[in-house]
């Protein structure tokens, strides 16, 4: 069964996680490490995208 494609937010958060030298899927505070980078990704995307684009992207996940 093919996996569901990752959202752009997840792809970016995973990239930042790797860039910092952390394993993406190791648990950190009960969640995969990459999820701790979502706030950084969101700050950049919110600044770079229109309100409509940002709202659409947030709705795509991950939560």
Give the per-residue pLDDT at 9: 94
Q: DSSP per residue over 1-63, as a string?
A: -PPPPPPHHHHHHHHHHHHTT--TTSEETTEEGGGGGHHHHHHHHHHHS-HHHHHHHHHHS--
Model confidence pLDDT, tens digit, residues 22-55: 999 999 999 999 999 999 999 999 999 999 999 9
Q: Is pLDDT above 80 for 1?
A: no
pTM: 0.87
What are 47-53's contacts with CB under 8 Å, separation 24+? none
Q: How confident is the model at residue 62 (pLDDT cuts 50, 70, 90)?
A: confident
């Amino acid at each position: 069964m093919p996996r569901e494609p990752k959202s752009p937010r997840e792809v970016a958060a995973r990239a930042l996680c790797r860039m910092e030298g952390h394993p993406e899927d190791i648990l950190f505070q009960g969640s995969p490490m990459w999820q701790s980078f979502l706030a950084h990704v969101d700050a950049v995307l919110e600044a770079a995208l229109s309100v409509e684009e940002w709202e659409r992207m947030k709705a795509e996940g991950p939560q």
